[in-house]
Amino acid sequence: MFAPRLLDFQKTKYARFMNHRVPAHKRYQPTEYEHAANCATHAFWIIPSILGSSNLYFLSDDDWETISAWIYGFGLCGLFVVSTVFHTISWKKSHLRMVEHCLHMFDRMVIYFFIAASYAPWLNLRELGPWASHMRWLVWIMASVGTIYVFFFHERYKLVELLCYVVMGFFPALVILSMPNTEGIWELMTGGVFYCLGMVFFKSDGRIPFAHAIWHLFVAFGAGTHYYAIWSPAQASALGNFWPSSDVGASPLLPARLPALLHPGLEPHPLSHSIILEEIFPGFHFIQAQTLDVLWMLRKVVQEGKRSFPRPFSPVGKSPSWRHSRLCMGCGT
């Protein structure tokens, strides 16, 4: 009884930033302030999620890591993109009722697949027991069931929908906690705490100003923590390839799978530094090619500028041609 009163801002000066609560079977209508905050709090994370997903792809060493990176990347980017599109349409194109309704359903469905995709690197790349291995496909069945539920019972039983999210979020975590490899478990638990705290604001529309935007921030913090738990072992594995093998005198920056390009006593290969940079920074050649393209374009622009604006003749001796150029440019008599 005390908690709802403590979290109720309707009788304070902040009430102008929110509307009144609605019945359980209806959708809350945000204010203009809340609409803007809802869009911004997830739109800000679209580009970082794309860059982070690309980084996981470049750090992949085999097919399973590549597939897991794609699944996780699509889930992560899809969550922020769909949420931003829905909130933008809801804010600026609210007269498109059918479009808004479909996007709202899609926004709820994406959450199930985001949860399943978040567990993909853990379930696909780590050793599981005979029973726990079934979670690899069971989590996607749960996401599909949740999607069907949203399609038929959207906004009807909100408490049941919230319970589905909680069960799907915690059930695979029990399997991961039983794995022999416990690396990243604390980050996984910390991300789960962020999601659980955010649920308080997820169900507080009409009581707390910008409640849904605050929920978005907790989602971003939880997703960022889980991303770090996935990225950190991948980065450590990639850097581990650069330590020397059993050969004495090998360069500590030389990957074991590269030829001895910089081994003492051997003539360095002309492309050795480029190969090593490609190993240390995946995608180096792509960035290098893009940089060269930009420099080439700038060179062409400068050349075109020189043709369009010829350099005036030297004023030494004040030749007639120089006087003529000054008259043409309107700089003197």
pLDDT tens digits, one per residue of 131-144: 677 888 899 999 99
Q: What is the pLDDT of residues 139-195, one digit of tens each?
A: 999 999 999 999 998 878 888 888 999 999 988 888 887 787 778 888 889 999 999
How high is the pLDDT of residue 96?
80
On whether the CB atoms of residues 49 and 222 are closer than 8 A, the answer is no
Structure tokens at 324: 């003529």
270 has a pLDDT exceeding 60: no
The long-range contacts involving 316-321, CB below 8 angstroms and separated by at least 24 positions, are: none
User: What's the fold here for domain 2-237?
Assistant: Rhopdopsin 7-helix transmembrane proteins (1.20.1070)
| pLDDT confidence band for 213 (50 / 70 / 90) | very high
How high is the pLDDT of residue 39?
93
Tally of residues, the chain: 333
Q: Where are the domains of the chain?
A: 2-237, 272-329
264 has a pLDDT exceeding 50: no
> What average pLDDT is seen over the chain?
75
**Other CB atoms closer than 10 Å to residue 59's CB: what's the count?**
19
What is the identity of the amino acid at 229?
A
How far is C-alpha 49 from the geometric centre of its chain's CA atoms? 1
Cα 222 to Cα 189: distance, rounded to the nearest angstrom: 9
Q: How far apart are the first and last CA of the chain?
A: 89
**Other CB atoms closer than 10 Å to residue 218's CB: what's the count?**
20
How far is C-alpha 199 from the geometric centre of its chain's CA atoms? 21
CA dist list (Å): 2 to 6, 159, 205: 6, 21, 18
CA angle (95 as vertex; 90, 101 as ends), nearest 5: 55
How high is the pLDDT of residue 255?
40
SS3 of residue 256 by DSSP: coil
How high is the pLDDT of residue 203?
83
**Comparison of pLDDT for 165 and 286, the residue scoring more:** 165
| Range in 163-172, 206-215, 238-247 with the lowest mean pLDDT | 238-247
Q: How much is the pTM?
A: 0.68
Q: What is the pLDDT of residues 22-31, one digit of tens each?
A: 666 677 778 8
Of the ranges 11-25, 116-130, 235-249, 262-276, the best mean pLDDT one: 116-130
